[in-house]
Structure 1
Amino acid sequence: MSTIPTLYDWFAESARRHPDRLALRAGGLDFSYRQLTAAAAQLAEDIVARQGRRPARVGVFVSRTAGTYVAYLAALRLGVTVVPLNTDFPPARHARIARTAGLDLLLHTAVDADLAEAVGTQTGTARMAAPDEHRGPTAPAGPPEEYRPDPDELAYIVFTSGSTGTPKGVPIRHRNVAHWLPYVLDYFEAGPDIRVSQTSDLAWDLSVWNVFLPWATGGALVVPERTELLAPSRHINDDGITHWFSTPSSIVTARMLDDLIPDTMPGLRWSCFGGEPLTLDKARAWRDAAPNSVIANVYGPTETTVTCLTYRAPADPLRWPRAALGALPLGPAYPTVECDLMDEEGRPADEGELLIRGPQRFDGYLDPADNVGRFTRWRGDRWRMEEGEPLTEEHWFRTGDRVRRTDNGYVFLGRMDNQVKVNGYRIETGEIEAVLRQHDAVDEAAVVPWQAEDGTVELAAFYVGDQAGQEDLEGFLAEQLPTYMIPPRLGWIERFPLNVNGKIDRHRLVEMALTMADV
Structure 2
Amino acid sequence: MSTMETLYQWFAESAEKHAAEPALEVGARTLTYAGLRELAGHIAAEAVTAVGSVPARIGILAERSVLTYAGYLAAHRLGSTAVPLNPAFPEERNRMIAEAAGLDLVLTEETAGLGVPELVMAEPGDGAARTPPEPRTGDLAYILFTSGSTGKPKGVPIRHRNVCSYLGHVVPRYGMAPGSRVSQTFDLTFDLSVFDMFTAWSGGATLVVPSREDLLAPVRFVAEKRLTHWFAVPSMVSYAQRLRSLRPDSMPSLRWSLFCGEPLTTHQAEAWQRAAPGGVVENLYGPTELTISCAEFRLPADPADWPVTPNGTVPIGRPHPSVSHVVLDDQGRPAVEGELCARGPQRFPGYLDPAANEGRFYHFGPGEETARLHGADDELDDTAWYRTGDRVSWQDGALVHLGRSDQQVKVQGYRVELGEIEAVLRDQGAVRDAIVLALPGSGGTTELEAVCTGSGLDPDRLLTAAAARLPGYMVPRRLTVLDALPLNVNGKIDRSALTAHAIGQRG
TM range (shorter): 0.7 to 0.9
SS of 2:79's equivalent in the other structure is coil
1:138 CA drift (Å): 8.0
8 Å CA contact 1:20, 1:32 repeated in 2 = yes
Residue in 1 that maps onto 2:152 = 166
Residue in 2 that maps onto 1:126 = 117
| CA shift in 2, pair 1:288/1:89, >3 Å | same
Is residue 84 from structure 1 mapped to residue 84 from structure 2 by the alignment? Answer: yes
Residue in 1 that maps onto 2:219 = 233
Residue in 2 that maps onto 1:66 = 66
Residue in 2 that maps onto 1:11 = 11
Structure 1 outlier segments of 4+, above 6 Å: 137-140, 448-451, 453-460, 512-519
Residue in 2 that maps onto 1:265 = 251
2:394 paired residue among 405, 423, 426: 405
SS of 2:186's equivalent in the other structure is coil
| CA shift in 2, pair 1:511/1:332, >3 Å | farther
8 Å CA contact 1:70, 1:132 repeated in 2 = no
Is residue 391 from structure 1 mapped to residue 402 from structure 2 by the alignment? Answer: no
Is residue 311 from structure 1 mapped to residue 297 from structure 2 by the alignment? Answer: yes
Separation in 2 of the partners of 1:241 and 1:219? 11
User: In structure 1, what residue type is equivalent to 2:71?
Assistant: A
The alignment of Structure 1 onto Structure 2 pairs a total of residues equal to 443
SS of 1:390's equivalent in the other structure is coil
Residue in 2 that maps onto 1:22 = 22
Cα deviation digits, residues 85-122 of structure 1 (max 9, x gap): 0122111111111111100101012xxx25x12x1xxx
Residue in 2 that maps onto 1:188 = 174
Separation in 2 of the partners of 1:284 and 1:241? 19
Equivalent residues in 2 for 1:98-109 (5 A)? 98-109=98-109
1:374 paired residue among 338, 355, 360: 360
1:252 CA drift (Å): 0.9
SS of 1:325's equivalent in the other structure is coil
1:134 CA drift (Å): 9.2
Cα deviation digits, residues 450-494 of structure 1 (max 9, x gap): 99x99999988544279xxxxxxxxxxxxxxxxxxxxxxxxxxxx
1:508 paired residue among 453, 476, 479: 476
| CA shift in 2, pair 1:78/1:232, >3 Å | same
Percent sequence identity is 45
8 Å CA contact 2:389, 2:404 repeated in 1 = yes
| CA shift in 2, pair 1:456/1:220, >3 Å | closer
Is residue 280 from structure 1 mapped to residue 258 from structure 2 by the alignment? Answer: no
SS of 2:339's equivalent in the other structure is strand
User: In structure 2, what residue type is equivalent to 1:249?
Assistant: S
Separation in 1 of the partners of 2:432 and 2:93? 33
User: In structure 2, what residue type is equivalent to 1:391?
Assistant: L
User: In structure 1, what residue type is equivalent to 2:393?
Assistant: R
Residue in 1 that maps onto 2:406 = 417
| CA shift in 2, pair 1:253/1:309, >3 Å | same
Cα deviation digits, residues 218-247 of structure 1 (max 9, x gap): 111011112212221221122221111111
Separation in 2 of the partners of 1:221 and 1:104? 28
Separation in 2 of the partners of 1:204 and 1:373? 24
Cα deviation digits, residues 165-222 of structure 1 (max 9, x gap): 1011110111111111011011222222211111110111000111011101111101
Is residue 359 from structure 1 mapped to residue 345 from structure 2 by the alignment? Answer: yes
Structure 1 unmatched runs, 5+: 420-428, 431-447, 467-498
Equivalent residues in 2 for 1:139-150 (5 A)? 144-145=133-134, 147-150=135-138
| CA shift in 2, pair 1:462/1:391, >3 Å | closer
SS of 2:318's equivalent in the other structure is coil
TM-score under structure 2 length normalisation: 0.81
SS of 1:226's equivalent in the other structure is coil
8 Å CA contact 2:184, 2:196 repeated in 1 = yes
User: In structure 2, what residue type is equivalent to 1:508?
Assistant: P
Residue in 2 that maps onto 1:41 = 41
| CA shift in 2, pair 1:70/1:463, >3 Å | closer
SS of 2:406's equivalent in the other structure is helix
8 Å CA contact 1:333, 1:409 repeated in 2 = no
Residue in 2 that maps onto 1:198 = 184
User: In structure 1, what residue type is equivalent to 2:383?
Assistant: E
1:5 CA drift (Å): 2.2
Separation in 1 of the partners of 2:438 and 2:378? 40
8 Å CA contact 2:39, 2:70 repeated in 1 = yes
Cα deviation digits, residues 290-333 of structure 1 (max 9, x gap): 11111111001100010110000000111111223201100011
8 Å CA contact 1:260, 1:286 repeated in 2 = yes
Separation in 1 of the partners of 2:54 and 2:434? 55
8 Å CA contact 1:39, 1:135 repeated in 2 = no
8 Å CA contact 2:181, 2:227 repeated in 1 = yes
Residue in 2 that maps onto 1:444 = none
Residue in 2 that maps onto 1:480 = none
8 Å CA contact 1:201, 1:207 repeated in 2 = yes
8 Å CA contact 1:195, 1:240 repeated in 2 = yes
Separation in 1 of the partners of 2:321 and 2:2? 22
Q: Which has the higher contact order (CA 8 A, sep 6+)?
A: 2
8 Å CA contact 1:168, 1:365 repeated in 2 = yes
Residue in 2 that maps onto 1:479 = none
SS of 2:178's equivalent in the other structure is coil
| CA shift in 2, pair 1:457/1:227, >3 Å | closer
8 Å CA contact 2:219, 2:251 repeated in 1 = yes
Is residue 464 from structure 1 mapped to residue 442 from structure 2 by the alignment? Answer: yes
SS of 1:277's equivalent in the other structure is coil
8 Å CA contact 1:38, 1:137 repeated in 2 = no
Cα deviation digits, residues 19-55 of structure 1 (max 9, x gap): 0100001143210011111111111111112221111
